[in-house]
Amino acid sequence: MKKGNLIELEISSYAFEGKGIAKIDKDEKKNFVIFVHHSYPGDKVVAKLTKVKNSYAEAVVDKLLIPSNERTKARCKFFGTCGGCRQQDLDYPAQLRYKHEQVKDIFERLGGFTDFILEDIIPSNNIFHYRNKMEFSFADRRWLTSEDMNKEITDSNFALGFHLPGIFSKVLDIDECFLQSELSNKILNLTRDFFKSRGTNIYSTRTHEGFLRNLVLRQSYSSDDLMVNLVTSNEDDELIKEYSDALIKSVPQITTIVNNINLKKAAIAVGDYEKIYLGSGTIFDTIGKYRFRISANSFFQTNTLQAEKLYETALDFADLNKDEIVYDLYSGAGTISIFISDHCKQVFAFETVESAIKDAGENNLLNNIQNVQYITADLNKSFLEKTLSLPKPDVVILDPPRSGMNPVTVKDVASLSPKKIVYVSCNPTTQVRDIKLFTQEGYSLIKVKPVDMFPHTYHIENVALLTK
């Protein structure tokens, strides 16, 4: 077996991150594992080997001989090139089942946990048009698909769409995405046409010159609020006013237009400052009975409807009785803190990002919340000093980024000795790593519940309960 070889395989199971698993006898090894990208259990394929190690190999599908009966036709014409919806050709009930099995496998195999309850996964009511935020990139180098190669391309130096996985110098030009609303697609295409017609230059990560950087669209699910946020490398008031006028004329539903100016070399869709050309520069959305103010750079769960189910799960696991003190770590714009505020005595919310604390304070005022206090703390270092004048927590809720928690923070939380810890995570692998550390500090894993926030992707949100 060598890289580049073709081999006929039957896919028997499924691995995390969307890889089918085939097992063969290799040399004297039985059940040698080959991970086959873009394959599903039940597939019979000719696979091309891309990596061969002593303990495993990786491959991609070269030819699909017999498709799994769980396969379905992908809706999007960019499927297979764009890396956003890698499971769009897999039947949704099968997506849910495999995500549930992956959580089980991660907790049992990586975590070594056996004595815990794994509850049923919560499906998403909407499997298309579910995102309230889409972030597109401009690039001066367009990724050419196999279809593009067979025709004359005159605009290969202008693209607005998505970076392909692992490729940051080129962008796949997108004119339609089924994760956002039809209205958002209209804005996307109008933006492309407007700036192409004017020959506007695009910021280059190679030369660090050029104007256009990102287009970020945010849309409320509970109101008609719709934000267009254009991220550029500098100001051009006349051009942005002309762009705003064109947007308003074609899409009068737009309620606010923002220009974020990013002076940094880093390829991020966040500006050093912003200029507002229409409306207030914010939109509002609701989770449960609570209303949230969302600015251009605010963090807000991207699947609004499913976020309510996620927070209800966290609230159910916390099992509050209105007398408890709760610490909410990685509290962001205060969405979880506010959502649980009616059910406890006091919430102390800890967050590293200053702008998120500001948004959280605004959301407190918006909902007339009296029992949530926000505290700036570096959660990559010890935050115990911030707690010295505070009452000890009965419950701690954690919602860290994908990378999980710093071991110092784990020890800090354990030293506060809360009766319950509710851990919300978008990455079960780092979540189980941290939970193993908590078990070394005297905590037991009681139950876990997955929530599907992102249909057609392999990503999965997960809520876990630990008790002292």
CA distance 68 to 158: 38
Other CB atoms closer than 10 Å to residue 42's CB: what's the count? 16
SS3 content of the chain, % helix, strand, coil (to 5): 25, 30, 45
**Burial tier of 112 (Cβ tally within 10 Å: 0-12, 13-18, 19+):** exposed
Sign of the CA dihedral with 39 first, then 42, 46, and 51 last: positive
Q: Are 138 and 202 in contact (CB under 8 A)?
A: yes
DSSP-assigned beta bridge partners for residue 449:
463
415 to each of 121, 297, 412, how far by Cα in Å?
32, 34, 5
Active-site residue flag, 82: no
CA distance 308 to 304: 7
38 to each of 43, 73, 86, 313, 449, how far by Cα in Å?
10, 13, 7, 32, 26
CA distance 80 to 119: 32
Residue 240, both tokens: 């942005």
Residue 224, both tokens: 């008609």
CA distance 444 to 442: 7
Query: Which amino acid, one-letter code, is at 11?
Result: I
CA distance 281 to 214: 17
Residue 262: strand, helix, or coil: coil
36-40 CB contacts, 8 Å cutoff, 24+ apart: 36/9, 36/11, 36/60, 36/61, 37/61, 38/80, 38/86, 39/11, 40/11, 40/14, 40/68, 40/70, 40/71, 40/90, 40/94
User: Where do we find the tokens 């002076």?
Assistant: 263
Catalytic residues: 426
